[in-house]
Chain A
């Protein structure tokens, strides 16, 4: 089975802090994604990566950056956390060659910014 592991299930941070969310997949997938999930809004794509060191903006990239130095690891960075970034963050990966394909999701990281 594909396993997507997110480093932290729950985080509480203060406004202005730098936040790192780590994600690791163990199936040699090419594509990795970061979504945020908010009630009534579904999942919104923040960033995705289709190869090492490659990244593309999703629909809501403002206030976020990403890093993919190794194929299995995709990090989401909040340079200066704000209260409107309180959310559930979901990492996903897919094998997909040329398209998103079937996504495999991690358990999620619930971030609260005070």
Chain B
């Protein structure tokens, strides 16, 4: 069965620190990849997505992610975090032979200290 692994469940950083959240998936075929974010008390919203083309994708609020097919990874990065980035981050994968199923990772809670 397809699965998505997020290795860090809780991350605590100080403002201006760099961020990298890991995401690995288990599926050998074509995938669409997503990062979603859930700010405290708010609904889930899309941060960025990869469908095809340049494996380095840029999203909102200075986030970016790199798709490395050989490593089945789609790690999220931000060079300098802000207090307002405190949120829970979810990686998600849509395997193209399971067309409508978007599988989510277990999430990473990020706390940014001012």
Contact = CB atoms under 8 A, between A and B. Distances in A.
Contact of B45 (A35, A45, A105): A105
A48 B100 CA distance: 8
A75 interface: no
A100 B43 contact: no
Interface stretch (B62-70, B76-84, B102-110): B102-110
B101 A45 contact: yes
Interface string B8-48: 01000000000000000000000010101000001111100
B56 interface: no
Contacts, number: 64
Interface string A74-114: 00000000000000001010001011111101111000000
A15 B5 CA distance: 33
Contacts of A4: 43
B40 to A, nearest CB: 13
Given A43-B44, A56-B100, 11 more contacts: A4-B43, A40-B107, A43-B104, A44-B104, A45-B101, A48-B101, A59-B103, A98-B99, A99-B99, A102-B46, A107-B43
Nearest to A105: B44
A103 B102 contact: yes
B94 interface: yes
Contacts of B43: 4, 90, 105-108
Contacts of A107: 42-43
A29 B21 CA distance: 31
Given A42-B90, A42-B107, A108-B43, A102 B34 contact: yes
A34 interface: no
Contacts of A12: none
